[in-house]
Amino acid sequence: MNADLARLRMLAGVAIWALHFAAIYGFTAVACARRLPGPVPLAVALATLVAAAACALIVIAELRKPQGFESWMTGGLAALALLAIVWEAVPVVVVTPCQ
Amino acid sequence: MTTLPNPAPRPEGEIDELRRLWRTPRGLRFITVINNNYIGILYVGAAFLFFVLAGILALLMRVQLAVPENDFLGPDRYNQFFTMHGTIMMFLFAVPAVEAMGILLLPNMLGARDLPFPRLSAYAFWAYFVGGLVFFLSIFKGWAPDGGWFMNPPLTNETYSPGYNADFWLLGIGFIEISAIAGAVEIVVGVLRTRAPGMTLGRMPIFAWAMLVFAVMIIFAFPAVILATALLELERAFGWPFFLAELGGDPLLWQHLFWFFGHPEVYIIFLPAAGMVSMIVPTLVQAPLVAYRYVALALAATAFLSFGLWVHHMFATGIPRLSLSFFQAASMAVAIPAGVQVFAWIATLAQGRGRMKMTTPALFVLGFLFTFVLGGLTGVMVAVIPFDWQAHDSYFIVAHLHYVLIGGMVFPLFAGFYYWMPYTSRHRLSERLGRWVFGLMFVGFNVAFFPMHLTGLAGMPRRVYTYAEGYGWETPNFVSTVGAFLIAAGVLVFIVDVARKFRMASEDNAGNVWNAGTLEWLPNGNYSNRSIPVVTSREPLWDQPNLAADVEAGHYYLPGAPTGGRETIVTSALDAKPEFLLRMPIPGWAPLVAAWFTAAFFLLLTVKLVVPAAVCGVIAIAGMLHWAWELDPAPLAAPVDIGGGIRLPAYISGPRSQSWWGVVVLLLVSAALYGCALFSYLYLWTVAPWTWPRPAQLPGLAYPFAEALLLGASSLAVGLANRRLSAGPRRIGAPLFTGLLFLIAALAVEIWAQRDFAPTASAYGAVVWLLASLAGFQALVVVTLALFTLARAARGKLDRVRRVTFDNARLFWHYTVGQSLVGVAVAHGFPRMLG
Amino acid sequence: MSVGLQSALAPRGPEAAAIAEITWVLVAGGALIFAIVLVIAALALLRPPAWLASTRLVVAGGIVFPVVVLSALLAYALVAAPRQAGATPTDIVVEVVGHQWWWEVNYLDGDGAPDFATANEIRIPVGREVELRLRSADVLHSFWVPALAGKLDLIPGKDNRLRVAADQAGTFRGQCAEYCGGPHAQMALFVVAEDPARFDAWRAAQREPQQGIDDAQAAEGKELFLAHCASCHTLRGTAAEGELGPDLTHFASRLSLGAGIRANHVGTVAGWIAGNQRMKPGNLMPEIRDLDGDELRTLSAWLGTLK
C-alpha cells in the first residue's frame, strides 16, 4: 500500500487547489467576522502566489518527464488547478473585502 | 499476448463446478442472493420504481400548477409532494441508480468474478429498498417531510415543524446515506483492486473511472449531510442549539454543511452518467474514445472542483461579496472539465464518418448532448452572482437543474438501459418502441422545462403551490404541464417495452449485439468470465483477436475454482499485477437481517418508538456480527496456481488485503465527518464568539494532559497486543482490555471536564459536546471490534497468520485515538489560543 | 389580484436594470455558444472533416475556447455587477421583518428608531435610494421584488441590507422567494414608487395615529374591532396593541389584503375575516366565526374607513 500511497502525488495539484481555496475562504471569513478586512487582499495575494507557483512547478516537472499516463494526470490536474487558483483570486483586485 | 496462461484444453466438468459454486439460491432463498448480476438488477429495478413514484408526484404537482389559483392540491399536500419529489429523486433514485449500474456492470467490465464485498452490496441494497419504501409510504399518513429536500432550519426545527415529518427525512435519509456509503466502499476497493491483470489505470474503461470518482466523492460529501442531519436531530430531540441564532447557533451552518454535500451530489449523479456515455459513444461509431486521457482527467478534476462550489447555492444569503466571488470563479472553472468531455464525445462521434446508425442508445446520447449543453450554459449563467440574485429560487433554477439532471443523468441512464439490456437479458429491447420512448421523453422534456426559464425570469418563485394570475405565468405553466405528461407517456412505453423484452439472463444473455470493445461483453455467467483475461488495450475485444473464445475456453487465468469456493483475483491498484486470490463469501441471511433491522431501527426511532427501535438495533448489530464472524476464513497454506506460471497466495493480511483497504475507506468517511464537525466548531465561533469561554473559564490544563496520556497509553497497549499476537492469540487479552480501559477513561475525563458547559445552553456547549459525542461513538465501535476480536481469539479463529480481524480493529483503534487527540486539542486549546 | 410588475425582464430600478443587461448578455452569449456546439455536433454526425475527429477539437473546444470565454465572463461579471454596498448614505431606512406568511414593514427615523409601522407594502419616492434592513421573526424568507432588485434572504440573527430605488413611478409586486412552509406561495408584497411629494404626504399621514369617522356605525365597528381583533393587531391611537399580526393603522390606505393576495376592499375584507383559511390555507389568523352578517359588514366597512 505504501508504494500505492506514494502515487497519490498524482493529486498534488488539486490538493494544492483545495488548500488554497480553504485558506483564502477561511481567512476572509475569519477576518470579516473579526471586522478586520485590511489584510485580506495581501493574504489572498500571498497564498495565491505560493499555490500558483507550486502548481506551475509541478506542471513544468511533469512536462520534462516521458509522457506516461500518471505523468499526464499529475501535470494535467496541476494545470487545471493553476487556472482555478488564479481565477478564484482575481476578484480580490476589484471587490472590497467584507461587504 | 503471444502465449496464453492456460493453453491446454481444460478438464471436463470444470465449468460445471464454476456454475455450481456461483449458482443463484432457489425458491424463497433467492432473496439471499448476493451475486452482483442479481443485486445489480434488483438495485436498478428499485431505483426505477422510485423514479416512477417520484415522477407521479411531479405529475400531480404539474396538475396543480396547470392553471393559476388552482385548489387541486392544498399547500400541505403540495409541500409534502415537492419535498418528497426532490428527496426521492436525489436520494432514492439518482444516487442508487448509478450506484446500481456500477454494481451490475463493474465486475464484468473489470474482469472480476464479483465485487470484493458481495454481502455488503446485498446489505446496501436491502437497507435502501426496505427503508426507502417505508419512507415513501409516510406520504399516505400525511407524515411525509414538508421542509423541502434541503430541509433548511429554522423551518425544520421543533418549533416550526413539530410533527414526525421532519424526523422522517432526517432519520430516513440519514440511513439511506449509510447504504450509499456501503456501496461506495465496495466500488472504490472493487475498481482499484479487482481489475483484470494488465488493466492499468490508463487502460481502465471510462465508466470505471467515473464510478471510482463517484465513490470517492460519496466518501467525502455524504458525511457532511450525515453530520448536518445529526445536528438537526440533536437540536430537535434534545435542544442542542446548533442552528438557533438566540443561543449562538446559525441557520447558515446547516446550509454550508448541506451544500458542501449538495453540490458534489450533483456531480455524484452526473459523472457516472457521463461515464456511461463515454462507453456507449465509442461502440456506436466502432472507434475508441477520442482524448481518453483528457476525459479521465476531466472526471478526476470535476471531483475536486465540485467541492469548491457549495456557496453558489447561497449567493442570496448576504455573505460578503468577496467570499461569493471565490465560488463564482470556482463555478466557472468546473465548466472546463465538462466542456472537455462534451468535445471528446463530439470528436468521437465524428469518427463515425456520418455512418452511425440511429439506434435508441444513439438517440438518447444525442438528446443528452443537446440537453446537457444547454443546462451547462444556464449553469454558467447562474454562476454569475448578480444574475443569480434574480434567478435563484425562481423557476429558472427549476429549468436549469432539470436540464442538467434529466438531460445529464436520466437520458444517459436510458441510453444505458437500452445499451446494456442485451448484457443482462435474453432479448434486447425493441428499437421500434425505443424510438417512441425517446421521442416522447425528449420532446416532452423540452416542452415541460424550456418554458420554465421564462417563467422564472418573469418573476415566478419556485416551491409555490399556487400562483397569481396576470403576471404572464399562465401559458408557460400550462405548457409545462402538457410536457410533463408527454414525458410520463414515454416512461410508460418504456415500461411496456421492458415488460415484453426483459428476461433476466447471464449465460444465455443476448450477447454482444453492438460489437462493443470492453470486457463486460465477453461471454459470461454468474461467475462473470470463465477465465480472467489479460488486458493489453482499452478495448480488448477489438484489439485482442480471439479473446472471447480463449476466455470462454478457459485459456486465461483462473479458469476454474482451485480453492473449491467463490474467488476472484486481487491485483495491485495502479498496474493491475495479480497479488492474491480472494476467497469470497456465499449467500446467507445475515446481511439481510442486518439490513432489514437497520431500516426498522431508524424508522421506529422516527416515530419515537424507542424500545422496539432498540430491539431492532440490537438484532441488526447481531446480524452484522454473525455476518462478520463468517468472514476471514482459515488460511490455505499453499499458494494457488492460476495459470501462466503464476501462483498466488490464497490468504493475505495487512496493508495489501482488500479488507485493510475497506477499513481505510471507512476511516476516510469518519475523518470527513469529523472534519465537518471541526468546521462547525470554527464556523460557530466566527458567528458567535461571545458564547466561547475565556481561558480562565475553561477546565484546567490537567484534564487535556490526562486525556492525552490515557489516549497515548491506549494506543501503546494495542501496539503491544500487536506484537504479542505473533507469539500466540491467548496473550492479547490483557493489553486489549487495558487499552479499552484507557480509552474509556479518557472519554470519561473529557465528559467530566466539560460538565459546566451544558449542551443546551449555547452553541459552544453544543459543539463541544458534539466533539465528545463523536469520540464516544468512535470508542463504542472500538469496544465492539475489540470484544469481537477477543471472541474470535477465544474460539481459535485468530492467530499470527489469520489476523485480519485484529488488524482491522487495530486500524480503527489508532484512528480513534488520533481523532480524539485532535478533539482534545481543539476543545481545550482553541479557546486558550484566542486568549 | 393582478397589480403591478413582477418580472426581472421589466426592470424599473438601477439594480434590476444592471442585472437585466447582464441577463441579456448571458442569454445572447449562451445562445451563440449553444448554436456553435450544435453546428459542430451536426457536422460531426453528418460529414466530419478530419480535424473534428481528433484530440485537437477537444483541446480547442473543451479547453482553449472555454478558458478564453470564461475569463472574459469573469471580468465582465466583476465589473458589471451592481450593488457594491456602502454607497451613498440614504435617509430613508425601512426595516422589513419576515413573518410566516406576511411582511412587517417599519419605517425608521434618522436615529434608527421606529417611526411608524405598516405591512405588506413599502412606499418609496421615485429616484431615491432606500435602505431595506431585512430581518426574520421566525424562519428563513427572501425578499424579492424582481422589477427593482435581485433577492436577499431574511435570516434569523443576520442583519442583511438591501438598497433599492425606482426610476419611475409604479407598483411592483414581490414575493417571498425562500420556501418558508405552509402558504409560502401566498406571501407577497407591493413596493409602490411615487413622486417624492406624494411620498412625503403619505409618510406624514402614516405617522399620525389612526383617525376614524365619528358616527354611530363607526363606533360599533371600532367596538367589534377591539373585541375581536385587538389581541393580535395594533391600531395606533386605540387600545388595540396586539403584536401577533400586522399593524393595521391606516389599513385602508393599503393596496392588498392577506399579504398581497387580494385587492383591499370591503367585500374581500369581510371574506377574509370570516373565511381566510379558504383564501390562504394554513395562515396563522383564525377565522372569526362568531360575527353575524351585519356585524361582519359593519366591521369591514369600518376597516375600510381607516385611511
**CA–CA distance, B452 with B399 (Å, rounded to integer):** 5
Could you tell me if C74 lies within 8 Å of chain A, comparing CB atoms? yes
Element (H, E) at C119: strand C114-119
Question: Are the C-beta atoms of residues B158 and B164 closer than 8 Å to each other?
Answer: no
B1 pLDDT exceeds 50?
Answer: no
What pLDDT is stored for residue C4 in this prediction?
A: 84
Q: What is the per-residue pLDDT across C213-223, written as a single tens digit (0 to 9) for each?
A: 677 778 899 99
**CA–CA distance, B401 with C137 (Å, rounded to integer):** 31
Positive or negative, the CA dihedral B333, B338, B342, B348 is positive
Question: For cell 469496544, what's the residue?
Answer: B783
Length of chain B: 835
The set of cell numbers assigned to B291 is 482524448
* Model confidence band, residue C80 (pLDDT cutoffs 50, 70, 90): confident
Question: For cell 421542509, what's the residue?
Answer: B147
Length of chain C: 307
C87 pLDDT exceeds 80?
Answer: no
Chain C's closest residue to A83, CA to CA, is C67
The set of cell numbers assigned to B263 is 453540490
Could you tell me if B358 lies within 8 Å of chain C, comparing CB atoms? no
| Full-model pTM | 0.96
Probe site for chain C from B83, B149, B155, B336 (most C CB atoms < 10 A) = B155
Average pLDDT over all residues of chain B: 95
Rg (CA), chain C: 25
Chains that touch B (3 or more CB pairs under 8 A): A, C
Inter-chain Cβ pairs, chain A and chain B, closer than 8 A: 107
Which of A55, A48, A35 lies closest to A93, judged by CA?
A: A48
What pLDDT is stored for residue A98 in this prediction?
A: 86
CB pair distance less than 8 Å for C281 and B74: yes
What is the mean predicted confidence (pLDDT) over C253-258? 95
Q: Which residues of chain C are within 8 Å of residue B318 when distances are taken between CB atoms?
A: 134, 152-153, 155, 158, 160
**CA–CA distance, B708 with C188 (Å, rounded to integer):** 57
* Model confidence band, residue C88 (pLDDT cutoffs 50, 70, 90): low
The set of cell numbers assigned to B685 is 465561533
What pLDDT is stored for residue A42 in this prediction?
A: 95
If contacts are CB pairs under 8 Å, which of residues 379-408 in chain B contact chain C?
380-381, 384-394
**CA–CA distance, B818 with B743 (Å, rounded to integer):** 11
- Please give the angle made by the CA atoms of B806, B36 and B23, to the nearest 5 degrees: 95
Q: Which residues of chain C are within 8 Å of residue B147 when distances are taken between CB atoms?
A: 179, 181
The nearest CA of chain A is from the CA of C118 a distance in Å of: 29
The nearest CA of chain A is from the CA of B775 a distance in Å of: 25
Q: Which residues of chain B are within 8 Å of residue A24 when distances are taken between CB atoms?
A: 326
**CA–CA distance, C301 with B541 (Å, rounded to integer):** 85
What is the mean predicted confidence (pLDDT) over C256-268? 94
Q: What is the per-residue pLDDT across C195-239, written as a single tens digit (0 to 9) for each?
A: 999 999 999 999 998 876 677 778 899 999 999 999 999 999 899
- Please give the angle made by the CA atoms of B802, B807 and B809, to the nearest 5 degrees: 125
What is the mean predicted confidence (pLDDT) over B72-100? 96
Positive or negative, the CA dihedral A66, A67, A69, A74 is positive
B90 pLDDT exceeds 70?
Answer: yes
> Which DSSP string corresponds to B85-117?
HHHIIIIIIIHHHHHHHHHHHHHHHHT-SS-S-
Which of B521, B541, B315, B335 lies closest to B428, judged by CA?
A: B521
If contacts are CB pairs under 8 Å, which of residues 719-748 in chain B contact chain C?
none
- Long-range contacts, B18-27 (Cβ 8 Å, 24+): B18/B525, B18/B527, B18/B530, B18/B560, B18/B561, B19/B525, B19/B526, B19/B527, B21/B527, B21/B561, B21/B564, B21/B565, B21/B566, B22/B113, B22/B525, B22/B526, B22/B527, B22/B566, B23/B526, B24/B526, B25/B587
Q: What is the per-residue pLDDT across B27-53, written as a single tens digit (0 to 9) for each?
A: 999 999 999 999 999 999 999 999 999
Indicate left, alpha or beta for B698 from its phi (over 0: left) and psi (-120 to 50: alpha).
beta
Which of B375, B374, B405, B445 lies closest to B270, judged by CA?
A: B405
CB pair distance less than 8 Å for A83 and C74: no
**CA–CA distance, C1 with C262 (Å, rounded to integer):** 5
Amino acid, res. B141: K
Half-sphere exposure (Cβ direction) of B608: Cα atoms closer than 13 Å:
9
Question: Are the C-beta atoms of residues C131 and C264 closer than 8 Å to each other?
Answer: no
Q: Residues of chain B with pLDDT > 70: what percent?
A: 99
Which of B560, B566, B486 lies closest to B530, judged by CA?
A: B560
CB pair distance less than 8 Å for A94 and C78: yes
> Which DSSP string corresponds to A16-72?
HHHHHHHHHHHHHHHHHHTT--TTHHHHHHHHHHHHHHHHHHHHHHHHHS---HHHH
Helix (H, G, I), strand (E, B) or coil at C135: strand
Could you tell me if C58 lies within 8 Å of chain A, comparing CB atoms? no
Element (H, E) at C105: strand C102-108
Chains that touch A (3 or more CB pairs under 8 A): B, C
Element (H, E) at B296: helix B292-305
Q: Which residues of chain A are within 8 Å of residue C70 when distances are taken between CB atoms?
A: 87
Could you tell me if A30 lies within 8 Å of chain B, comparing CB atoms? yes
* Model confidence band, residue B622 (pLDDT cutoffs 50, 70, 90): very high
What is the mean predicted confidence (pLDDT) over B663-677? 97
Q: Which residues of chain A are within 8 Å of residue B322 when distances are taken between CB atoms?
A: 28, 40, 91-92, 95-99
What is the number of other CB atoms lying within 10 angstroms of the CB of residue B410?
26
Positive or negative, the CA dihedral B690, B695, B696, B701 is positive
The nearest CA of chain B is from the CA of A94 a distance in Å of: 9
Could you tell me if A35 lies within 8 Å of chain B, comparing CB atoms? no
**CA–CA distance, C177 with C191 (Å, rounded to integer):** 16
Helices (H), B138-250: 165-193, 206-238
Residue B20's Cβ-count burial label (10 Å; 0-12, 13-18, 19+) is: exposed
Query: Which of A14, A17, A97 is opposite residue B322, by nearest beta carbon?
Result: A97
> Which DSSP string corresponds to B548-603?
HHHHHTT-SB--S-TTSS-EEEEE-TTT--EEEEEE-----SHHHHHHHHHHHHHH
The nearest CA of chain A is from the CA of B96 a distance in Å of: 27
At B494, phi and psi to the nearest 5? -60, -45
- By DSSP bridging, strand C130-136 and strand C160-164 are antiparallel
**CA–CA distance, B729 with B309 (Å, rounded to integer):** 50
Beta bridge partners of B813: none
C86 pLDDT exceeds 90?
Answer: no
CB pair distance less than 8 Å for C78 and A99: no
Which of B253, B227, B226 lies closest to B91, judged by CA?
A: B226
Question: Are the C-beta atoms of residues A32 and B689 closer than 8 Å to each other?
Answer: no
Could you tell me if A73 lies within 8 Å of chain B, comparing CB atoms? yes
What pLDDT is stored for residue B464 in this prediction?
A: 97
The nearest CA of chain B is from the CA of C247 a distance in Å of: 23
Question: For cell 375575516, what's the residue?
Answer: C273
- By DSSP bridging, strand C130-136 and strand C93-99 are parallel
Query: Which of B301, B307, B333 is opposite residue A87, by nearest beta carbon?
Result: B333
Could you tell me if B355 lies within 8 Å of chain C, comparing CB atoms? no
Which of B430, B484, B449 lies closest to B370, judged by CA?
A: B449
Amino acid, res. B832: R
**CA–CA distance, C112 with C93 (Å, rounded to integer):** 8
What pLDDT is stored for residue A4 in this prediction?
A: 66
Question: For cell 449523479, what's the residue?
Answer: B269
Question: For cell 490468504, what's the residue?
Answer: B651
Average pLDDT over all residues of chain C: 93
What is the mean predicted confidence (pLDDT) over B398-419? 98
Chain C's closest residue to B70, CA to CA, is C279
